[in-house]
A and B are shown apart, each in its own frame.
Chain A
Amino acid sequence: MQDIVLSDNEIQMLSVLAAKANEKALPVEDLIEDTQLMYAQGLSAIGYLCAKGLAEPVEIGNKQKCVLRKPGQEYEENGLPEKRLWQHLVATGGLTLKEVNDFLPQSEAKFTIGMFLGTFQKSGLVAFSNGKITPLQYALPESIRAMQRYLTHVKETASRDLQNPAEEEAYRRKLVEDKLITIAGYRLTGLGRQQACLYAGAEMQSMVGNVTREMLLSGEWRARQFRPLSVVAPPEIRLELQHPLPRFLTYLRRSLVSAGFHEVSSPILETQFWNLNALFMHKYHPVRSSKHLLAIDGISLPEEPPKIEHSTRVLQEWISKEYEGRGTSGSRGWGTADGFNNDQVVIRSHSTPETVKHLALTVPLPVYLFGFSRCCRARPEKPEFIQMDVLVADQGLNVRTLMGTIKHVCRAIFPQAVDIQVQAAYFPFTEISVNIWVVYADGTTYEVGSGGLMRPEAAEALDVLIPVALIGFNVSRVASILSNNAKAIDPNSIGFEAFDETEIPLHAQH
């Protein structure tokens, strides 16, 4: 007979199956009834028995259950948005509509305001006056309390609560749903019945499971046999030790290093000068507004060495001249550079400052640089993102060699692409601006990034008297094409569940 090694729990479950479910399949709940096994242990043991061919699952029926949908789970855990809003209203004593809007996440604000504030007012629970909403009672309104109670009931019992008046609304708001659950039962296979006979003997009781300190001291183990243990089957999906995001960055890094580029990096805190002004960004461009840029007033950055500090001041002066149309690039400028706020500290809002700063301050020309930057913007969804920037400053650059450079970079990153195409685009600090598309042999095309020649005003002011090519990629976007699990490569995603499912892409293994 085949030598099958079983764990303690599997042996116990095998015996129960032999006693209770030799012919008729039973659910796990019934099987573990008279054992010491927890539900999870029983389920795991039965799973292994099935994998080893000793037991088999059989569908024994269906059951209608009421379960929480994703928003329902979230509201059950964190509280309904209207409940959080009410508590905040009571805690603060009153809020303007804007404050209500700011308090709730954007995805909830519109619905909650539209749905509840009017109803609260009609029910006399809040008053609107002078643009402020004031609660007229401290206690949570009963309708909210009932809904919260209903969600908890569903979570705990997986059943409806017909007595609760919130039930209808819970369905209407799609917080709960009815699901038909298949009930699985388990029974022994022929092989299982044979194995069960082997373990039925009383001698099993005398075998040593765990070797204990007491056993070693007393020498009790000498008179007994060791029960063989199972080699735990390897999981179907091997757990990765490296997170997909840094691993994907390593792939991009190696691709670009082998294509002849040098990596640079710099801190995420930057001055307004390097983040936007040095790139000749228009003073009223929307990316400068507080709806985009995370600027921090009243703080400064560590002093740079005197030489760099001096160079930066000189560059600031030159940029101002270019902005005002008094520079040497031939530009007529945007207008007065007053209010440029060069020293204001910001969180880098895009990746270009990283490579451009290196270009201006540290390296001799020509240069071929790239860098990864975590960047942040004032937006409710995914405020953090990672960009990769490639910079080339070379006398030989023109529109055609820019296209050649874009192709060279894309070939390094997308080796299986059969063509690289461009389409006119707009970026405030490049003139000759294109979006980049890669084309695969099956005809699919993807927009992967953008590029262009740095505005001559910026290059001239930074004392780079040759053309500069800038090529940028959003790492998540590139990952969505190259990885089978782009979700895991979002820097805003935390936890472990996503990357367990990631297959290592072939191109990244090389």
Chain B
Amino acid sequence: MPNIDFERSLISSRLAKAPDSYDFRHTLLGVKAYLDYEDEDIIRVNFLDTLRPELWCIEGLARHLEPLPGRKYGLHVLESFPRIPTRFTELPQHTNAWVLYIHVDPGQKIFDDAYFLKKVRDQIGFGSRQNIDVTILPDMQFILSIEAPVDEDGEILSPLTLATGTNTVVITARDQRIGTWLLFTLLCNFLDRDYQGCGFATTIDEKEMFAKWSPFPISSKQLKETFGFKPESERFRAALEGMHYQVEYDGKKRQWLITPPIFRFDIIHPFDILEDYLVATYYEEAKPEPLTTVNAIGSQTKRSELEERLVEYMQAYGARQTIGLLLDSYENVVERMCHDHPERLIHLDNAVNKNREYAVDSSLPPLLRNAVHPSAPLPPSKFYLFTETLFLDKQRVAHSRWKMGILLIGTDHPFNNAHTLLDALCYHLRLDYTLKRSGSPALIPGRQMTVSTGDITIIGQFGEVHPEVLTRWELFYPASFIELDLDAISRFWAGI
């Protein structure tokens, strides 16, 4: 959803509609955009559609809000210029190039396209000049050598302007559709500024790519089936022509032939055109109609049934439910937990926040984090949560488990209390279980057990939290911990 800043002076010089008028705002809705902010210099428009980059410059916006009379933007615009035999002596790997030769007469106004290009690059090129780049060379250059562009942090926008006389505009892009679209759009923009096109060149086999902008056939039947209503023909035609489509109707075949304007990046399927009609007419004809086949009653997952069952028991037990974070810091997930296998944790290289760069592999860190929160009730206290946990096995295969964690703080006989509660929960769920000593570094050795059912499937663990862990969390009360693997239990649980 890019925000684009337009200079107020530029808008005023190109458009008759005042930006603060109802008309201006209402017309913006027709391209899924709205006025986000304005001051005396800037008018910021928020475009919901990420794939309508042609609108992010004054020419593109003007074409929608106040089209130049008689201007058409079909493939003929480019095809009327000669294809210039241009030679590329050097081109970065996996990169394609397009060239436009443009002449600017003396006295014609010069525009800077750097901001437009930056926005395009940010939104459909991951911000990298290697994905999209434009350079402008003086005169008509027929032999071109292009080096791989380099991305720099905090890049300052260098002006991207044509000079009076003839210019060679070189577009490089990895993606052929993006590059072709940029060629078309820059050409439309230049022609709207009354510059003259002198020719073009490209390294791709352009026929197949240009054909993507050829007419789409849409039958009247398809129209009715997609919409659920039949739009009135003239209204349909007028709405689309208002968006620069070329529209023809073949009465014999009962079929529309609709050609998208070449500056549209996003039209690849007849559905894209049909949606444009709905947007242009503000969905006025799309009256809701019930879908008669919806079932009388649905169902919930076995896991959510199990959760609700456990919540009922824990409420009767007087424990409070909390929620936990899936992503936490190295300090909380590794250091404070005395974790003995940090390599088994999922680490997010591109986490923006250092406090949220590791996924928890147990419900204990979020429970302890809640326990030491300033708002936590004073011990003795008991609370629980449900959370997803993620971990890697030795083969670096990532596993996910939905778990319930329970923390009993400040009670006497923590280990026995935890065992008693575990036993009651298993009885409540009608689960037979067996216990085996375990070796979690977060729990006291000799005071921790894994819980299994069906002899081998581990469904949980419980034990007394190790004083070292409690000390590192600054929780100075004895505590015991129970964890149930609800994914595993779901397989054995008979349900309600």
- Residues of A with Cβ closer than 8 Å to B? 97-98, 102-103, 105-106, 239-243, 245-246, 250, 253, 256-265, 267-269, 282-286, 288-291, 294-302, 325, 329-336, 345, 347, 366, 368, 370, 374, 376, 378-380, 383-384, 392, 394, 396-408, 420, 422-426, 428, 431-434, 453, 455-457, 491-497
A297 to B124, CA, bound (A): 23
Chain B residue nearest to A256 (CB atoms) is B298
**Interface pair A330/B270, CB less than 8 Å apart:** yes
- The answer on a CB contact under 8 Å between A299 and B346 is yes
Q: Which residues of chain B come closer than 8 Å to A402, judged between CB atoms?
A: 286
CB distance B286 to A431 under 8 Å?
no
Measured in the bound complex, the distance between the Cα atoms of B353 and A256 in whole Å is 35
Q: Roughly how many angstroms separate A289 CA and B124 CA in the complex, as a whole number?
A: 10
- B226 with A301: CB separation less than 8 A: no
Residue in A103, A261, A428, A497 whose beta carbon sits within 8 Å of that of B50 in the complex: A428
Residues of chain B contacted by A329 (CB below 8 angstroms): 269
Q: Which of B1, B272, B293, B319 contacts A241 (CB 8 A)?
A: B319
Contact pick for B301, options A263, A397, A432, A492, CB 8 Å: A263
Most buried by B among A105, A496, A497: A496
In the assembly, what is the distance between CA of A401 and CA of B176, in Å? 37
Contacts of B37 in A (CB 8 A): none
Of A239, A374, A431, chain B has the most CB atoms within 10 Å of the CB of: A431
CA distance A465 to B114 in the complex (A): 44
* Interchain CB contact under 8 A, B293 and A394: yes
Given A335-B175, A378-B351, A425-B48, do A401 and B298 touch, yes or no (CB 8 Å)? no
Q: Which residue of A lies closest to B348 (CB)?
A: A294
Alpha-carbon separation in the docked complex, A423 to B28 (Å): 12
Q: Which residues of chain B are near A424, meaning CB under 8 Å?
A: 29, 32, 48, 278-279, 282-283
Query: With A267-B400, A332-B268, A400-B287 in contact, do A286 and B304 touch (Cβ < 8 Å)?
Result: no
Query: Does B375 lie at the interface of the complex (its beta carbon under 8 Å from any beta carbon of A)?
Result: yes
Listed from nearest, the 6 A-B pairs whose CB atoms lie closest are A400-B228, A267-B400, A398-B228, A497-B375, A403-B288, A426-B49
With CB as the reference atom, state the residue of chain A lying closest to B272. Answer: A431
Interface CB pairs A-B, < 8 A, 18: A98-B153, A242-B315, A243-B323, A243-B385, A298-B396, A299-B392, A299-B397, A335-B176, A378-B348, A383-B327, A394-B291, A396-B292, A401-B289, A404-B290, A423-B29, A424-B283, A494-B370, A495-B373
**Do residues A301 and B289 form an inter-chain contact, with CB atoms below 8 A?**
no
Which chain B positions have C-beta within 8 A of A264?
Answer: 301
Contacts of A366 in B (CB 8 A): 293
Known: A290-B350, A424-B32. A283 touches B175 (CB 8 A): yes
CB distance from A12 to the nearest CB of B (A): 22
Q: Mark B318-337, 1 if CB is under 8 A from A, else 0.
A: 11111111110000000000
Whether the pair A399, B49 counts as a contact (CB closer than 8 A) is no
Q: In the bound complex, what is the Cα–Cα distance between A370 and B295 (angstroms)?
A: 13
Q: Which residue of A lies closest to B401 (CB)?
A: A267
Assess whether A263 is in contact with B352, with CB atoms less than 8 Å apart.
Answer: no
Q: Considering only CB atoms, which chain A residue lies closest to B47 in the complex? A: A426
Contacts beyond the supplied A288-B126, A347-B359, A494-B325: 4 A-B pairs with Cβ under 8 Å: A241-B314, A242-B321, A384-B325, A398-B228
Q: Is B44 an interface residue (CB 8 A)?
A: no
User: Is B145's CB within 8 Å of the partner chain A?
Assistant: no
Q: A383-B352, A423-B29, A494-B369 are in contact. Are A269 and B227 (CB under 8 A)?
A: no
Could you say which residues of chain A place their CB within 8 Å of the CB of B124?
282, 284-286
CB distance from B260 to the nearest CB of A (A): 10
B289 close to A404 (CB less than 8 A): yes
Most buried by A among B286, B288, B353: B288
* Shortest distance from the beta carbon of A357 to any chain B beta carbon, whole Å: 14
Contact of B126 among A106, A289, A299, A420 (CB under 8 A): A289
Least CB distance from A498 to B in Å reads 8
B18: which A residues are within 8 A, CB to CB? none
The residue from A241, A258, A404, A492 contacting B291, defined by CB atoms under 8 A apart: A404
With beta carbons under 8 angstroms apart, the residue of A258, A379, A426 that contacts B297 is A258
In the complex, chain B residues whose CB is within 8 Å of the CB of A268 = 326, 388, 390, 400
B410 at the interface (CB under 8 A from A): no
Which residues on A sit within 8 Å (CB–CB) of B175? 283-284, 334-336
Q: How far is the CA of A457 from the CA of B271 in the complex (A)?
A: 10
Q: Are B324 and A376 in contact (CB under 8 A)?
A: no
Q: Which residues of B374-400 are within 8 A (CB) of A?
A: 374-377, 385-386, 388, 390, 392, 396-400
Which A residues are in CB contact (< 8 Å) with B369?
494
Task: Flag if A260 contacts B295 (CB, 8 Å).
Answer: yes
Q: Residue among A242, A336, A455 with the most chain B CB within 10 A?
A: A242
Q: State A404–B294 Cα separation when bound (angstroms).
A: 11
Instruction: Let me know if B72 is at the binding interface, CB within 8 A.
Output: no
B471 within 8 A of A: no
Which of A267, A400, A408 sits near B227, CB closer than 8 Å? A400
* Complex Cα spacing A239 to B311, Å: 16
B269 near A401 with CB under 8 A, answer no
Contact between chains at A284 and B298 (CB < 8 Å): no
Residue of B nearest to A249 (CB): B304
Is B123's CB within 8 Å of the partner chain A? yes
Expressed in whole angstroms, the Cα–Cα distance for A345 and B321 within the complex equals 31
CA distance A486 to B343 in the complex (A): 37
Which of A241, A253, A284, A399 contacts B304, CB < 8 Å?
A253
Which residues of the other chain, B, contact A405 by a CB distance below 8 angstroms? 291, 294
Knowing A286-B126, A325-B212, A403-B287, the reply to whether A496 touches B269 (Cβ < 8 A) is: no
Chain B hits for A259, CB < 8 A: 294, 298
Question: Once the chains bind, are A260 and B298 in contact (CB under 8 Å)?
Answer: yes
Q: Which residues of B contact A331 (CB under 8 A)?
A: 268-269
> Does B447 belong to the interface (CB within 8 Å)?
no
Chain B residues near A408: list those with CB within 8 A.
290-291, 294
**Do B288 and A378 touch across chains, with their CB atoms under 8 A apart?**
no
Residues of B176-219 whose CB lies within 8 A of A: 176-178, 212
Q: What is the CA–CA distance of A335 and B359 in the complex, to the nearest angstrom?
A: 35
Q: Name A375's closest neighbour in chain B (CB-CB).
A: B326
Question: Are the C-beta atoms of B398 and A300 separated by less than 8 Å?
Answer: yes
Q: Are A241 and B321 in contact (CB under 8 A)?
A: yes
- CB < 8 Å neighbour of A263 from B49, B126, B290, B304: B304
- Expressed in whole angstroms, the Cα–Cα distance for A392 and B291 within the complex equals 10
Give CA–CA (A334, B178) in the complex, Å.
Answer: 9
Is B346's CB under 8 angstroms from A336's CB?
no
Q: Are A400 and B229 in contact (CB under 8 A)?
A: yes
C-alpha spacing A291/B349, complex, angstroms: 11
* Residues of A contacting B122 in the complex (Cβ-Cβ under 8 angstroms): 286
**Nearest neighbor of A492 in chain B, beta-carbon distance:** B325
CB pair B289 A403 closer than 8 Å: yes
- Give the distance to chain A from B284, nearest Cβ to Cβ, in Å: 11
Contact: B304 with A265, CB < 8 Å?
yes
Any chain A CB within 8 A of the CB of B308? yes
Cα A356 to Cα B294 with chains together (Å): 18
Cα of A328 to Cα of B402 in the assembled complex, Å: 39
- In the assembled complex, which residues on chain A have CB atoms less than 8 Å from the CB atom of B282? 424
Q: How far is the CB of B256 from chain A (nearest CB, A)?
A: 14
The contact of B271 among A103, A401, A432, by CB within 8 Å, is A432
